[in-house]
Amino acid sequence: KAGVTQTPRYLIKTRGQQVTLSCSPISGHRSVSWYQQTPGQGLQFLFEYFSETQRNKGNFPGRFSGRQFSNSRSEMNVSTLELGDSALYLCASSSGTGIDEQYFGPGTRLTVT
């Protein structure tokens, strides 16, 4: 099985711009979760999508949004970028049908200047 893929892998944006990140889950997985990872902060949960619906949400401002398509692929959007948004954004997929492990993608490294 192909693993979780994320595009792009690296991104440099300027403050005030917006960005869209993409995640393709493992075939057959219906749940996609997004995390922000920064040094010292660990993995902060952004949101989870299951069957095109947001099932869980973390404590991030409304500038962070996401969606999931019928093929389970997911996108995450950050509007009005701030310097503090610089981070590694990880997506993880799972079957979503109960307690199961998450498979992480390689991440997108976002740098905001």
Partner 1 sequence: GQQVMQIPQYQHVQEGEDFTTYCNSSTTLSNIQWYKQRPGGHPVFLIQLVKSGEVKKQKRLTFQFGEAKKNSSLHITATQTTDVGTYFCAGQTDSWGKLQFGAGTQVVVTP
Cβ-based neighbours of 96, under 8 Å, separated by 6 or more: 29, 30, 31, 50, 51, 55
92: exposed, middle or buried (Cβ count in 10 Å: 0-12, 13-18, 19+): buried
Q: Is 83 in the site for partner 1 (CB under 8 A)?
A: no
d(CA 17, CA 34): 20
Whose Cβ is closer to partner 1: residue 84's or residue 101's?
Answer: 101
Contact between 25 and partner 1 (CB under 8 A)? no
Region from 9-17, 67-75, 78-86, 98-106 binding partner 1, contact rule CB under 8 A: 98-106
Cβ proximity to partner 1, 50 vs 81, nearer residue: 50
- The reply on whether position 11 binds partner 1 by CB under 8 A is no
